[in-house]
Structure 1
Amino acid sequence: MQIKDEEALMFPEKLKSDPNKHSRDKYCRFHRDHGHDTADCYDLKQQIEALIRQGKLQKFIRKEKTDPPPQDQHPRRDNERPRPPIGYIRMIVGGTAAAGSSKKARKTYFQMVQNVQLTGAVPKIARKESPIIGFSEEDARRLHHPHDDALVVNLRVEDYNMHRVLVDNGSSTDILYYPIFQQMRIDRERLIPTNAPLVGFGGSQVFPLGAVTLSVVVGDYPQQITKDVTFLVVDCSSAYNAILERPTLNSWKAVTSTYHLMIKFPTNYGVGELRGS
């Protein structure tokens, strides 16, 4: 870790999760603790990115750019066959989602999807029409533009007001991090075992500690909804307390806008709103 002597780098405390559950084969020189490798440390990557944006690591960046990349030496023509990729950067995938965790459940789900695609069946119209959801510049007036902030919200989960919940439309399962699970004092017996691994945490597979279903309240009364959400509990460090994923947003019929940093969803009393924090 070449930047360890940089004064701007702030070393965090040791991991708060149970030390007995940490992998002794992996050691993070940033956290000075076992559990994950330094190269896979999310907190370290976040600090490095922030320091680069602040211009405090220019000497390391210049060192990497002394040799021009191959594509700069040989510009690709428009009619030239593109080079194959050297790897893949994937989103968080796996988990139970709509398909379930068993092979039989996933097979049944894919058969249903294929049947809908082939027949083009149109779902029945609900008795009560849903309100029209839209966004305007008025919704964005509180924000500083331009911005590239992530959509991070506060939710009521069980009896707790949970801050720093990342809304991620691209991933397939809801995540609750184990330190927060412990802080909420949820009985470990409520964890349902699952054999569905997740991919996307440092590029390797992560096996959740289990799944837990919690009550989530979204919005302000009376334009609010209360739904049960099944989270996969993951024991690794994160800048967020939880991640809210695509299947749950779909079940709420929620519409997200990263430009407005807002979620809107239909309720029995009109359109509910949840603003980014």
Structure 2
Amino acid sequence: MTGVSDVIMCRGFFVTLDGQAQDLFASLPKGSISAFADLSGQFLSYFASSIPKKKQFTNLCKLDQWSMENLADYLSRWKKEARSLANFDEKMAIPIFTSNIRSRPFHRDLVQNPPKTYAALLDCATRFAEAEEAESKKEEEEQGRWGTPRVPSGTETPAPGPRAVVGPVALSDPIDVFDPNKYYRFHQQHEHDTDECMIIKWQIEKLIQRGYLGQYVKRSGQGRGQGPSNIWKKKGGFELPHRDALVITLDINNTIVHGVLVDIGSSVNVMYYDTFTKLGLSRK
């Protein structure tokens, strides 16, 4: 269409239309359009209400990073919001972005080394988001490799005891046997023993080390406390990670079975016959 006359522009424009836009074009009185500027003006006026309204730049001040939101998701949400603004100011966006993100290593890096341009800010945020995602995947791999989540040795946090509250989830008292009247909300189970649950202790330890649950943590000088890792060592008698053989107690079919050897390398799993009969099982 470059360099063509207004007549061709108007006729060519009609070919691209459909639905309401085509109906509008057909309803225009003969001779009412003398130039393409008239035609475009008619369309802009008619469909003005359908044009998305741009938001104000001050909306960014309310775009805080959520407590459990990772940096990659927040960065995506920030970019989407920035594209919808009418008067986006790259220079002002830098301190607002820095103020909105949560107190984590990336925030500390921005405070210590403020980016000079908005492009540099996005580049730095992208690199930190990729590193955060890689670290998360590494933690998942280590959980699978060792069989249970682990807290690095020497990093355990003193806590007032095994009971704690994580949001709406309360860690209940130990459950020695299956009790249908009790319910453990974190794992949605009735038979779970909270005090010996390594997964929840690891999750609590992880939250504490990231700066959460401070009101439930006892620091040095506040009294004797047990961190999650200390509880493991006291009850299990071993350091994590490990490859030692484990002999544990299990609740099988509502019956406590002692002396169960955990050995993932065995090709055969053996149960003594007297254990089999005490469980109330038959050859059927």
TM tier relative to shorter chain: under 0.3
Structure with the higher strand share, 1 or 2: 1
Q: Which is greater in Rg?
A: 2
Structure with the higher helix share, 1 or 2: 2
Higher RCO structure (Cα 8 Å, ≥6 apart): 1
Q: Give the TM-score normalised by the residue count of structure 1.
A: 0.23
Q: Give the TM-score normalised by the residue count of structure 2.
A: 0.23
